[in-house]
Structure 1
């Protein structure tokens, strides 16, 4: 019986590995596992060296940048996953080159305007901002164009299927550079407040952008001439900008708990919650790894008009995401107390948050990459509807639970929100697209679709 079970597991593993997209996901996940340790090391270092209040300010502002930065990219990070695989499959090299050039100009303009608007707001209406946040916000505003361009280049690498190039610079090189900068600043006797650390982050991002740009330039096709068709350029810009509200809202949903806590609790409490969330980096990176490659695979199936193949990709990706999320969460919970203690003795109090957020990750993994499916299909309204319902529900529940139970109430709210999202996503996506996105844990992959 044991031999038969081992044989069945072996066949299932080989079945999963036969999918090129899943092989790419495993490469991405391997990189992200390494990135999880590097990123966790960075957060532990910052929590140890910074005052708890300063660390909380850093956490809140960097989280806001992750959301607002999507506006500066004008949707080109996500549209890259839609257009690059399609033009590559059809060998439309002139359109590919034209799309890349259009995206570069649009991101420069969008992020520049965003930075100018933020700096103007801080200069004209400084009284609306807590003085502790004023200078750190100014530093981040100056760095918006750098961070937006880096995001765009990451989207290009993802669109081409260059998964290591889309993850290593931002998730391994940058944290390593920040740790080096913070270490040097601390050795030199600098006070590591939020302004200093965020300045180091921006400087490290400049180096990452240069490295990523040089590596991409070496790999991109060099003979193709960009299309000069004005209508085509307008189409790319409009298609990307239409993605922006839904994808910005999706990014907002990823960080909504930390953002809301920034208004409801003191920075010290927000930092405890953030430590619990960052401790689950392994589970988050498993899901991100599959997200990174799913959109490209979905786009290739759509370009071939292969509905059965696309359903198979969806099922394989969702099943793999679900089954890998469970052990990653379990390992984190086992190591939870010593892991949180690395941040500092005060952070151990966040273990109940860690357990609840782990459950939320498992529930989220049960619908896999439904958001990426909607992106490549161009179903922006449906995507925006789903994430708007999720965000509104989260805000309502956190306003009810956080005053009662503090940061534990925020984590409990996320569990209920993910349950609600699972039902809404499964029903609406199946009704509108005909595809089944909910996990089928005991369905043979070869029979999917």
Structure 2
């Protein structure tokens, strides 16, 4: 007999309580066991959510150990370089890591196998070549501009660029896995395997007598990233070869690039917006301040991961529903807002309650970031209150206006940071970030309503799609 949450509640709970719980448990059963596309998307979001919970714990533990091993100054250097490389790696995909999520289901649905084979090959090859070229140019720029850069940043940034191509390739492999609804294989290499490897290898390096500095941490990160990405590449390639029979390939590179370019702008603006505060703190303040601010933001990531988990599970379904009933798309979009907001709100309360002891774990002085959490969490919950709007816009062909919204939000964020960080320090960064996230949430929700007639806001009436 198949497990059912509703049936189990009937057996274990008093009748009155079981009747009250039945609607909620029925929805849980629908997510876990429904065979339709909605159920598949829900299960992928649940899997992504679980992976994100585990990865958040792993990332948090690894960051605590790195901070304690390295001290705030060296840890701040490592953090700034690593965040920059993660952003640059994502940007180096030029949008292909997201556009494949749109094209792969479309080609499979329409039986366009030659085009499907073409984009599977072209996306990986193009991203690897583009990211390698960007890494070479970036490393050369650091060397040439070394006299104008703080000396303690030069070697770490050069090492960081060595890692960049594998970060980019991992992003496009994640996109291909998401397009095929391989949730575990999409997320586990980046969010589970890589951080564990970095922690284990760093511990081994320290045991072998290496200094606990930013350079050692980045060399460890290079090794871990290459090992993880090559394993991920072999696994994704093997699965694709099994799923898709051999045959001719058709290349529509111009079409793919034209669609990917605005997606590239959306993703670039989003990644820059998500991490701009850390970069701006690094520009205006010392590595110790970067360390404290990053630890605070990392603590807040326990709330963020709900949003990213839902986004990972629903993007390909937005693309599939785009060609069907508008009412079905609108209803599904509304569901994704609920999936995002309520768990995010619950996690926000937990983080605020436990934030100070969590930050204390990073080492002396890190708990100075605790008051910032009360301001920053407002922006995170506001974003969760409108769900993954940018995924809906991107998957329905509205990537251009979505890019425009993110561009305006990024300009607002940077402008406020330039004005406020020199005057108010870390509080200035927190104010700039929160204000820009509130603007982003309102602008994206309004854009979805204007373009698609879909209401994506947790407390707004559903209305009717146009």
TM > 0.5 between the two? yes
Q: Structure 1 residues 228 and 12 mapped into 2: Cα distance closer, same or farther (>3 Å)?
A: closer
Alignment pair present for 1:398 and 2:417: yes
Alignment pair present for 1:264 and 2:284: yes
1:215-230 mapped onto 2 (5 Å cutoff): 215-222=235-242, 223-225=244-246, 227-230=248-251
Q: What secondary structure does 1:213 align onto?
A: helix
Contact 1:283–1:325 (Cα < 8 Å) also in 2: yes
Contact 2:277–2:433 (Cα < 8 Å) also in 1: yes
Contact 1:111–1:145 (Cα < 8 Å) also in 2: yes
Counterparts of 2:17 and 2:428 in 1: how far apart (Å)?
Answer: 43
Q: What secondary structure does 2:210 align onto?
A: coil
Alignment pair present for 1:81 and 2:105: no
1:228 Cα deviation from its structure 2 partner: 4.0
Q: Where in structure 1 are there 5+ consecutive unaligned residues?
A: none
Give deviations 1:303-356, integer Å, cap 9, x for gaps.
x43211111111001111001101111111211111111101211111011222
1:84 Cα deviation from its structure 2 partner: 1.3
Alignment pair present for 1:363 and 2:378: no
Contact 2:262–2:403 (Cα < 8 Å) also in 1: no
Contact 1:319–1:441 (Cα < 8 Å) also in 2: no
Counterparts of 1:338 and 1:242 in 2: how far apart (Å)?
Answer: 42
Q: Structure 1 residues 405 and 362 mapped into 2: Cα distance closer, same or farther (>3 Å)?
A: same
Q: 2:222 aligns with which of 202, 219, 239?
A: 202
Q: Structure 1 residues 442 and 183 mapped into 2: Cα distance closer, same or farther (>3 Å)?
A: farther
1:208 Cα deviation from its structure 2 partner: 0.5
Q: What secondary structure does 2:365 align onto?
A: helix
Give deviations 1:230-263, integer Å, cap 9, x for gaps.
5x23322332234212211111111111111111
1:219 Cα deviation from its structure 2 partner: 1.5
Residue matched to 1:436:
455
Q: 1:380 aligns with which of 385, 392, 399?
A: 399
Q: What secondary structure does 1:98 align onto?
A: helix
Residue matched to 1:214:
234
Contact 1:178–1:200 (Cα < 8 Å) also in 2: yes
Greater mean deviation of Cα atoms: 90-99 or 326-335: 90-99
1:443 Cα deviation from its structure 2 partner: 6.6
Alignment pair present for 1:43 and 2:49: no
Residue matched to 1:162:
182
Counterparts of 1:90 and 1:196 in 2: how far apart (Å)?
Answer: 50
Q: TM-score, normalised by structure 2?
A: 0.90
Residue matched to 1:236:
256
Q: 1:136 aligns with which of 153, 156, 162?
A: 156
RMSD of equivalent CA atoms: 2.2
Counterparts of 2:200 and 2:21 in 1: how far apart (Å)?
Answer: 45
1:436 Cα deviation from its structure 2 partner: 1.9
Q: Structure 1 residues 129 and 404 mapped into 2: Cα distance closer, same or farther (>3 Å)?
A: closer
Aligned length: 445
1:278-427 mapped onto 2 (5 Å cutoff): 278-302=298-322, 304-427=323-446
1:190 Cα deviation from its structure 2 partner: 0.8
